[in-house]
Structure 1
């Protein structure tokens, strides 16, 4: 392929990846943010005695149904930006790995990336998106934990006010509290994209049979299965990351700068207080949320890639 043509192809893939990622991120927020709020409350409620159903009922009864979407303003734009970075970089890493030989040949088809390469590109894109994701997730967590129904009674009036207070008390780097946890959490995109591709390839074996699903069903089922695998592996890192970001909750946030806990310190604290089970708090609402939100997000993402001619499996 001539250099100019290759350059245009790469630019096209990156542009489509940004568009598809943006749409995928918005879809994820609309479908899943309410479940995410329940998960955050379950994870960070002191004592860990409240289940997801109890937390959901309490939020709706005391704060109203709209409270499930506390902290949604930041993710509404932020998740779209995060997924744009995640998925456009995913395209770039796939292209790089393809050019460097991480491919396999199958009967009657062109070379394709190996499953290991699909997982590795997911891991690298997860790490790439972590610097952007951390402050957005930090604001989301702190806004979700405010239990006051009236905005006027809350310490943080919104994401901008929350960010302003954090910078005033801890400096600009305070917005990246929990960054190490975010890196470890987002490295688990290895499992998501590996599982998604494995499922998609499994469904291709049904072509020409009475059991062949259509493309939309294939994307929904593969995306849902990938998200369940992702959260099974990632939930311990998510719990630790969110605990770091919520410090010193449930105590009031300090007006002056305070020392932020490290990932190792928080992990040891969770284990000492709750044992290994403590790392899996919130897994139930994760599973309830993961399948529909990520299945719909993958459906939107893959649909845009195919529509705009940027499917990079081959």
Structure 2
């Protein structure tokens, strides 16, 4: 992410394969934590005493497999999201470099994208990827919130059924419910990629000292630490976004009567309710499991992404 890769004639294939590895790694490592976070954020106040209480009740009443409720949509689609995110990030960086947002490097005569440039490129990439990420997260949130042990008792029988019910109740635009929150959350990729580059430069400064570490470890640590920065800024909007996405589809009159569709509440309306009910603390729900998930999930995904590209023999180019 502070680096990109090219390989003549194979850039699209290499990027897609690396994106699949990165996306699946995020789901495998982090989805259980994400389920706990979503339950904490979207359940009525007082439902759970904390993350451990969510985990205990979830396993007790629904089984261990419930940690991976809603995992299918992100497992299938996260490759596309990461491809859009990383592909657009690279292009935004190139555009900013061409427009002079550079600074000299320690090596004389070499220009590199400034830290602010990395942040702006991350902002653009985050907003671009939100277009793909919003419907995937909508499915994930609604599937994660189903607490019934038996699938027969659940409103949504799976991702396809969830899509069908959302479209029937709200139209195709219903799949982008919560898009305002999604754009705000992913806009914080500004902090993610600016801090990632800052960490990478900090680790690079250790070269030649007794504390020198490998590039692979630098990528791993920088990705994990940058994810902490991202979520420190993004968690308030993430709370609002998930509540936007978990709104009921229809009133109780009847699921087949389109006239009973419920209006979608706005970002500001839900934010006001959170503040009125719980104060500032309401916007920090799920921060614990988010931080527990963030480092291993993002660090591992970046490590796998880099490893796949290296294994496929892609040429690495610093920009």
Say which SS state the counterpart of residue 247 (structure 1) adopts.
coil
1:203-218 matched pairs, under 5 angstroms: 203-218=203-218
Give ranges in structure 1 of 5+ residues lacking alignment.
1-7
Which residue in 1 is equivalent to 2:41?
Answer: 43
Q: Which residue is equivalent to 1:264?
A: 268
Instruction: Tell me if the contact between 1:14 and 1:92 (Cα under 8 Å) persists in the aligned partners.
Output: no
Instruction: Give CA-to-partner distance per residue, 1:68-106, whole Å, 9 cap, x none.
Output: 000000010111211111111111111111222111112
Are the counterparts in 1 of residues 220 and 302 from structure 2 also a CA contact under 8 Å? yes
Structure 1 contact 71–159 (Cα < 8 Å) conserved = yes
Structure 1 residue 89 corresponds to structure 2 residue 88: yes
When structure 1 is superposed on structure 2, of 40-49 and 299-308 the one drifting more is 299-308
Partner Cα distance (1:282, 1:37) in 2:
10
Deviations 1:237-268 (A, max 9, x none): 1000001000139x979724110000111111
Distance 1:253 1:158 in 2: 23
Shift of 1:301: 2.3
Aligned equivalent of 1:235: 235
Between stretches 64-73 and 18-27, larger displacement belongs to 18-27
Question: Is residue 2:318 matched to residue 1:313?
Answer: yes
Residue 12 of structure 1: how far off its partner (Å):
5.7
Structure-1 residue corresponding to 2:21: 23
What CA distance in whole angstroms lies between the structure 1 residues aligned with 2:9 and 2:94? 12
Q: Structure 2: 5+ residue runs without aligned partners?
A: 1-5
TM (norm. structure 1) is 0.92
How many corresponding residue pairs? Answer: 306
Note closer, same or farther for the CA distance 1:230–1:44 as it changes in structure 2 (3 Å cut).
same
SS of structure 2 residue aligned to 1:275: helix
Instruction: Indicate how the Cα distance of structure 1 residues 115 and 309 shifts in structure 2: closer, same or farther if over 3 A, else same.
Output: farther
- The answer as to whether partners of 1:91 and 1:312 remain within 8 angstroms in 2 is no
Counterpart for residue 171 of structure 2: 171
CA RMSD after TM alignment: 2.1
Q: Which moved more, 1:12-21 or 1:100-109?
A: 12-21
CA distance in 2, matches of 1:21, 1:198: 23
Higher relative contact order (CA 8 A, sep 6+): 2
Give the structure 2 partner of residue 4 of structure 1.
none
**Change beyond 3 A, Cα 1:134–1:254:** farther
Q: Secondary structure of 1:104's match?
A: strand
Report the counterpart of residue 224 of structure 1 in structure 2: 224
